[in-house]
C-alpha cells in the first residue's frame, strides 16, 4: 500500500487537475468548493484510524506544533473505535460520511458546552455537495490506491 506521501501527492494532483473542476463548471457546480474538499481530504483522511501518526499529523505538526496535540486528541476516539483499513473508514462515500458525521458530532458537543457558558455562541452548519464530492473523490482515490498498489516499492519507499 502507498505511503502517506504518495496519497498526498495523488490528492494534490486531483485537486490541482483541470479536468474535474472544468466538468464541475460545466455542471453549474462550484469548482472552488470541490478543490477545497480535495485539499481538506489531506487532513481528514481515511488513515485517521491508524494507531500511529499519519500524514495529516505530520502536516499539522510541521505547520503549528501545538495544533498537532489538539488534532491527536480530537481524533483519538475515532482511532480507538474504528479498526485500521476497516470498510467503514476506507470505503468511498461511507468513510467520507462517517468522518463528516464525526466532525459534526464533535462540533455539536462543543456547541453544547459553549451554550452552557454563553447563549450567544452557536455554529452555523452548511452542507455543500461539491465540497462533499471533493472529499469523496480523494477518499475514492485513496481506496483505489490502497487496493491496487500492493507495495510501497511501486511508488518509492517513503
Q: What is the pLDDT of residues 17-38, one digit of tens each?
A: 766 777 777 788 888 888 888 8
Residue reference for cell 457558558:
117
Q: What is the DSSP letter of 49?
A: G
Whether 119 has a pLDDT exceeding 80, the answer reads no
Rounded CA-CA distance 38/16 in Å is 9
Q: What is the pLDDT of residue 13?
A: 74
Q: What is the pLDDT of residue 96?
A: 95
Quote the pTM value. 0.80
Q: What average pLDDT is seen over the chain? A: 82
Whether 153 has a pLDDT exceeding 70, the answer reads no
pLDDT tens per residue across span 59-82: 899 999 999 999 999 999 999 999
The dihedral sign for the CA sequence 64, 143, 74, 50: negative
Q: What is the DSSP letter of 65?
A: H
Domain spans of the chain, in order of start? 4-155
Q: What is the DSSP letter of 158?
A: -
Whether 127 has a pLDDT exceeding 90, the answer reads no
Amino acid at each position: 500500500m502507498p505511503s502517506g506521501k504518495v496519497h498526498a501527492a495523488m490528492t494534490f494532483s486531483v485537486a490541482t487537475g483541470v479536468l474535474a473542476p472544468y466538468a464541475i463548471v460545466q455542471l453549474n457546480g462550484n469548482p472552488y468548493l470541490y478543490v477545497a474538499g480535495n485539499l481538506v481530504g489531506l487532513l481528514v483522511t481515511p488513515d485517521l484510524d491508524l494507531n500511529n501518526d499519519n500524514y495529516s499529523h505530520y502536516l499539522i505538526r510541521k505547520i503549528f506544533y501545538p495544533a498537532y496535540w489538539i488534532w491527536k486528541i480530537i481524533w483519538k476516539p475515532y482511532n480507538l473505535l474504528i479498526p485500521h483499513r476497516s470498510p467503514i473508514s476506507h470505503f468511498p462515500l461511507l468513510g467520507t460520511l462517517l468522518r463528516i458525521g464525526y466532525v459534526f458530532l464533535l462540533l455539536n458537543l462543543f456547541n453544547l458546552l459553549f451554550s452552557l457558558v454563553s447563549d450567544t455562541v452557536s455554529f452555523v452548519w452548511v452542507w455543500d455537495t461539491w465540497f462533499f464530492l471533493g472529499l469523496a473523490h480523494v477518499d475514492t482515490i485513496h481506496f483505489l490506491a490502497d487496493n491496487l498498489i500492493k507495495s510501497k516499492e511501486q511508488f518509492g519507499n517513503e
